Amino acid sequence: MIVDVVMPKMGESINEGTILEWRKKVGEKIQLDEILLEIGTDKVDSEIPSSAAGTVIEILANPNDVKDVGEVIARIDTDGGEVISNVEPPVIETENEPLSKPASSISKKEENVPNKPVTKSKVFYTPIVMKIAAENELPLNELELIKGTGRGGRITKKDILSYLDGGKLLSIDDHKNEPILITKTGRSEEMHHMRKLISKHMMESLATSAHVYVMTEVDMTSIVEFVKTEERSFEDREGYGLTYTPFIVDSVIRSLKEYPEMNSSISGTQVNYHREINIGLAVAIENGLMVPSMSNCEEKNFLGLCRSVHDVATRTREGNINSEELSGTTFSITNFGVFGVSIGTPIINQPNVGILGVGAIKKQPVVIETSEGDSIAIRSMMMLTLGFDHRLIDGAGGSRFLESVRHNIENMDLGDVL
């Protein structure tokens, strides 16, 4: 029996997916629930298991192809019948052109190539590749030099465009007798799917929100000393380490309750004030960054926040976060301080109107003011950066919010947090 493999639905609001990588080739055996391919959406990348055991007889989509949910992308023969080894994937960008050489410019160029070697193997070029070659007066003997990344070494649209954009001087009429010049780069590769999504979202955010930043120093000395004192007993009890992040999250939640405009979003000219406080926590992974949401943080005590932070960070790094958890944030926090960076200007995570950047904690000499006079002490200091949307929040409002976060951190009652 032939079983169709369709593009799965990865979430309620997701209607399409991008083929990232096939783990099996045509003719290879596959077991039930064995990973068949990897798919990327605008939320998350996922490994897709096979829905049947048998032999892969057709692969109907190439890497980087975007397919609608429910569209057939492969076929599996569960009876182990004859393998269709030469099935070609459908050509998406045909534009109704024939497969024969369509442009006189290519034929003309080919005639000028002396002693063109005759090859017995048939080389297949898609119509879109032939069209691009014709428009750029690229002769066939040069087209054959391009290394194809498609199935079976086929030259894809991406391959020829990368070749043309890589510094090659086109051999137009005035330069027919000049050698073709190709610049040599150290390495060139297609941008990872996640980086494409991050690029798209960040550019959209910059085009949407009027970004403004304010910064302040925070004295973390009491929290640093508390963590040192409690980290061993906390790990023995909970099974993971106590970090500084829950202290910052807890302080932010208190400030968001005091300044609800920072826990809102803008839709056109309407401001939506959210009842729930859903904190988005930026987590660095291998190929980029994800911002899973911790929902209903206003209902959680400090220990509950510790568990939520550990849970979403661990599952995100392990690739076990689901697409629904990557949406619905009302305010976001990004901790670049874990990489030793003191200050940063993070981009707002849409549709939020604010994001808090957390810097590294570093010991510094600080002037301590008392009624008995000033003194200098070594304190553990940290920089906080608040990015906010000036369409809704002015400098005064952003400064008050950041000052509230600083005050909550420095004056946290640590006696009963655990």
Instruction: Give the tens place of pLDDT for each residue, 326-361.
Output: 889 999 999 999 999 999 999 999 999 999 999 999
- pTM for the full model? 0.63
pLDDT over 80 at 31, yes or no = yes
> Where are the domain boundaries for CATH 2.40.50.100 in the chain?
2-77
**CA–CA separation, 164 and 158 (whole Å):** 10
What dotted CATH number matches 194-410?
Answer: 3.30.559.10
CATH architecture observed for domain 104-175: Irregular (4.10)
> Where are the domain boundaries for CATH 3.30.559.10 in the chain?
194-410
CB 26 within 8 A of CB 57: yes
Catalytic, 394? Answer: yes
What radius of gyration, in Å, describes the C-alpha atoms of the chain?
Answer: 29
- Give residue-wise pLDDT tens across range 279-294: 999 999 887 889 999 9
Residues 180-205 have a mean pLDDT of 76
Catalytic residue among 394, 407, 413, 416: 394
What dotted CATH number matches 2-77?
Answer: 2.40.50.100
H-assigned helices in 86-167 = 104-111, 127-135, 140-143, 157-165
- The tokens for 86 are 């030469």
Residues 214-234 have a mean pLDDT of 96
Please give the backbone phi and psi of residue 394, each rounded to the nearest 5 degrees, phi first. -90, 175
Catalytic residue among 192, 201, 274, 390: 390
3-state helix, strand, coil in the chain (%, to 5): 30, 25, 45
Least-confidence region, from 38-42, 46-50, 266-270, 316-320: 38-42
Given this model, what pLDDT does residue 43 score? 61
Catalytic, 211? Answer: no
**CA–CA separation, 205 and 321 (whole Å):** 23
- Give residue-wise pLDDT tens across range 120-177: 344 556 667 777 887 787 777 777 788 787 756 778 777 888 888 764 434 334 444 4
- Going by the DSSP 8-state scheme, the letter that residue 312 receives in this structure is H
Task: Return the C-alpha torsion angle 98, 101, 103, 106, nearest 10.
Answer: 160
